[in-house]
Amino acid sequence: MTQIQITWTKSCIGRPGIQSRIVRSLGLRRLHHSVVHEDTPTIRGMVNKVAHLVKVKIVEPEATG
């Protein structure tokens, strides 16, 4: 399955609390921290809520063999 890399680029200070909780639940701990998740509708919905705070990049699967 396709994976996406999510990088936290902007602070949550001054944003609604729900956005801070979404960033935390994505597994992001500090600014410029990146995590990789499966590209599922649930993750996409969370990313859409905080799209102005994160950067998303599609990770290509590595060829094995």
Domain 3-59 fold: Ribosomal Protein L30; Chain: A, (3.30.1390)
- Asked if residues 18 and 48 have their Cβ atoms less than 8 Å apart, the reply is no
Question: Residue 38: in which H helix or E strand, if any?
Answer: strand 34-38
- Asked if residues 58 and 39 have their Cβ atoms less than 8 Å apart, the reply is yes
Mean pLDDT taken over the chain: 94
Taking the whole predicted model, whether its pTM rises above 0.85 is answered as yes
61: pLDDT strictly greater than 80: no
64: pLDDT strictly greater than 80: no
65: pLDDT strictly greater than 90: no
Q: Give the start-to-end residue ranges of the domains of the chain.
A: 3-59
Tens-digit pLDDT profile for residues 9-40:
999 999 999 999 999 999 999 999 999 999 99
Residue 37 CB neighbour total at 10 angstroms: 18
